[in-house]
Structure 1
Amino acid sequence: MDIFSIILWPIKWAIELILVAFHALWDAVGLHPDSGVTWVLSIVGLVLVVRAALIPLFVRQIKSQRKMLEVAPQLKKIQDKYRGKRDQFSREAMSRETMELYRRHGTSPFSSCLPLLIQMPIFFGLFSVLNDAQHDKAGVGLLTRDLADSFANAELFGAPLRGTFINEFNLWTAGQGFNGAVMGIAAAMVVLMTASQFYTQLQIMAKNMSPEAKNSPMFRQQKILLYILPLVFAVSGVAFPLGVMFYWLTSNIWTAVQQSIVIRNMPTPGSEAAKAREARLAKKGKLNLEAQTAAESPSAVATKRPAGQRQQPVSKNRAKKSGSKS
């Protein structure tokens, strides 16, 4: 067993546990155990469990993204400061100042990628589980050979969940028998996966970025990713089994809905979403109340103290004298 298989073993075991548990649930409800609908609903259940468990990481990701947007103008100043300077001393100084900026604000350009990085082993684990089932192999845990065979051969509109677009396309070009349902469903899934990924990234850039952030280098990088990531899905999706594609599409839909809720209720200050939220609050008469609550918070009170003024500690004797005089 190679190191990759050792890393995936506990992930595959957990995936099989969730899949089999949901499969048993739908079977108890009355759905046919070998139906594609039953296994697709089990995959949807897997997504709900995984993404619900990742909500704390998503909240952390949102906070990190906000901090990155806040430091974007300062980061641009550092880059402008060392623009055109290619000597080693300047590069090291720029790197030190950049890392110090990230440290002061408690953020990192890599922290926003954490939920995606954690999902990738789950994605590969599900791919491995379905690939083993495709070759009539039992899983590492509760997915027996019979269940694996049921999973791989379960059909949805005549398309087995183990089928891939590229395999059927190769059969078609070779003049052999192919399953057009697999190609049709897979093509539709690739389009939906690509569109959902594009929409999720677009709503962040269009609605949840301040004008300063849109003028930063980070915005230009995200604009490039806006088109690259969906392209990656479109190219690689043709090789995914339908079962894996259902997982990825459901996860993308979860992300889009979750992102919409966050942008609506906790937008980045100064963004279009923040202005829309203020307009909604003003219409309901809640804007002044929210501003008053924020002004009365401990952090707001602390900021009212003039810059450079430090509250002097009062000794017990001085406190007693002050009390006796009054």
Structure 2
Amino acid sequence: MDFLGTILWPLKWVVELLLVTWHTVLTALGLDAAAGLTWVLSIVGLVLVVRTLLIPLFVKQIKNQRRMMTVAPQLKKIQDKYKGKRDQLSREAMSRETMALYKDTGTNPLGSCLPLLIQMPIFFSLFSVLNNAQHGTDGVGLLRGDLATQFGSASLFGVAPLKSSFQAAMNDPAGPQVTVMIIAAIMVVIMTASQFITQLQIVSKNISDETKASPMFKQQRILLYILPFVFLFSGFAFPLGVMFYWLTTNIWTMVQQFLIIRSMPMPGTAAAREREERLARKGKSEKTDDAGETIVIEEKKPAQRQQPMGKNRAKKAAQQGRPTEDGSTPSTPPVDPSGKK
């Protein structure tokens, strides 16, 4: 076993456990155990479990991004303080002050990358599991024997093996597998489009106006249109099973990102202004605390105006024990024993 295989062994075991568990459940519900659709749904179930477990980490990522925006002015002061100083002592001092700022504010500059960094080993593990199935090799966990054979030979619609890719179908010794190539090409296009839409909704709605005016943002916007081509060409080498995993997780990310941008937008962005308008129509307002958390405050509705009550009406209300206009119950005036009020 190579070095990468040794590192991925525990994750491959978990991936196989989840795949076999979902496959068992779907088979018990009446689906064909050897059908490609059953294994595709098992891969979708794998994504649902993984992404559900990553929700707390994703929420932590959003909060960390808000804290980073909060400390951005202080970070800029440190950078301006040592601007133009290239000696070793100045660089070390700037690094110490920056790390101290991160520590005091509880921010992590790498926090935004954690969900992606955690998903990548799972992605490679699934790729390795499919690669083993392609060569007829048993898995490291529960995917052995008949299950490994079923998974290795499973085909979508009975014509597109999950272990096959566009590249493998094009270079097939028996000749190009056109049907497999068409299905793989459609999967690559949909997968790339979902990735692009996810990033586009962040750039268009959840980036502040100040950030949009910076040269760095212009470079990132160029990458927004270049990266889809990278995924487009690299996707042709991925097996169909891996592409189903990638497409499902892209759709999850797109929906999750939409909900986060709508409910927890970054301050100073178009999404934040839209949220303020929605809250204003509902009679609510919001403010941001020191940690960057958004607090929604519901404004009190004005109390209903009480109609003035005349003396005769107030006297009658006192005799009947009804409350007056100020909410109090007036007492009946004392009666003089002589009969005079």
* Distance 1:149-1:282 versus aligned 2 partners, 3 A rule: same
Whether the 8 Å contact between 2:276 and 2:286 is mirrored in structure 1 is: no
SS in 2 for 1:287: strand
Deviation at 1:228, TM superposition (A): 4.9
1:274 counterpart = 2:272: yes
Deviation at 1:32, TM superposition (A): 1.4
Whether the 8 Å contact between 1:153 and 1:160 is mirrored in structure 2 is: yes
Whether the 8 Å contact between 1:15 and 1:46 is mirrored in structure 2 is: yes
Deviation at 1:217, TM superposition (A): 6.4
1:163 counterpart = 2:164: yes
* Code of the aligned partner of 2:232: A
1:136 counterpart = 2:132: no
Distance (Å, rounded) in 1 between the aligned partners of 2:198 and 2:35? 31
* Distance 1:197-1:72 versus aligned 2 partners, 3 A rule: farther
* Distance 1:265-1:194 versus aligned 2 partners, 3 A rule: same
Deviation at 1:46, TM superposition (A): 0.4
Q: CA RMSD in A?
A: 2.5
Alignment of 1:172-321 (within 5 A): 176-216=174-214, 219-220=217-218, 222-223=220-221, 225-287=223-285, 292=297
Distance (Å, rounded) in 1 between the aligned partners of 2:9 and 2:215? 40
Whether the 8 Å contact between 1:72 and 1:216 is mirrored in structure 2 is: no
Distance (Å, rounded) in 1 between the aligned partners of 2:271 and 2:258? 10
* Distance 1:81-1:223 versus aligned 2 partners, 3 A rule: farther
Which residue pairs with 1:321 in the alignment?
A: none
Q: Which has the larger radius of gyration?
A: 2
Deviation at 1:181, TM superposition (A): 1.9
Listed one character per residue, the Cα deviations across residues 205-249 of structure 1 (whole Å, up to 9, x for unaligned) are 221122233345664564355345434322321111000110011
* Distance 1:132-1:19 versus aligned 2 partners, 3 A rule: same
Whether the 8 Å contact between 2:36 and 2:156 is mirrored in structure 1 is: yes
Distance (Å, rounded) in 2 between the aligned partners of 1:7 and 1:179? 35
* Distance 1:137-1:291 versus aligned 2 partners, 3 A rule: closer
Which residue pairs with 2:304 in the alignment?
A: none
**Runs of 5+ consecutive residues of structure 1 not aligned to the other structure:** 295-326
Deviation at 1:98, TM superposition (A): 3.0
* Distance 1:165-1:55 versus aligned 2 partners, 3 A rule: same
Distance (Å, rounded) in 2 between the aligned partners of 1:228 and 1:114? 23
**Runs of 5+ consecutive residues of structure 2 not aligned to the other structure:** 288-294, 300-341
* Distance 1:147-1:292 versus aligned 2 partners, 3 A rule: closer
Return the TM-score normalized by structure 1.
Answer: 0.81
Q: Which range moved further: 49-58 or 223-232?
A: 223-232
Whether the 8 Å contact between 1:73 and 1:212 is mirrored in structure 2 is: no
* Distance 1:101-1:228 versus aligned 2 partners, 3 A rule: farther
Whether the 8 Å contact between 1:133 and 1:148 is mirrored in structure 2 is: yes
Deviation at 1:155, TM superposition (A): 1.4
Count residues in correspondence: 291
* Distance 1:278-1:222 versus aligned 2 partners, 3 A rule: same
* Distance 1:274-1:168 versus aligned 2 partners, 3 A rule: same
Distance (Å, rounded) in 2 between the aligned partners of 1:210 and 1:150? 51
Return the TM-score normalized by structure 2.
Answer: 0.77
* Distance 1:75-1:206 versus aligned 2 partners, 3 A rule: farther
Q: Which has the higher helix share?
A: 1
Deviation at 1:291, TM superposition (A): 5.3
Listed one character per residue, the Cα deviations across residues 28-66 of structure 1 (whole Å, up to 9, x for unaligned) are 222211111111111000000010011111111111122
Whether the 8 Å contact between 1:199 and 1:256 is mirrored in structure 2 is: yes
Deviation at 1:121, TM superposition (A): 1.1
Whether the 8 Å contact between 2:36 and 2:155 is mirrored in structure 1 is: yes
* Distance 1:243-1:105 versus aligned 2 partners, 3 A rule: same
SS in 1 for 2:280: helix
Deviation at 1:109, TM superposition (A): 2.2
Aligned identity (percent) is 66
1:112 counterpart = 2:112: yes
Distance (Å, rounded) in 2 between the aligned partners of 1:148 and 1:117? 28
Distance (Å, rounded) in 2 between the aligned partners of 1:207 and 1:256? 13
Which residue pairs with 1:299 in the alignment?
A: none
* Distance 1:225-1:59 versus aligned 2 partners, 3 A rule: farther
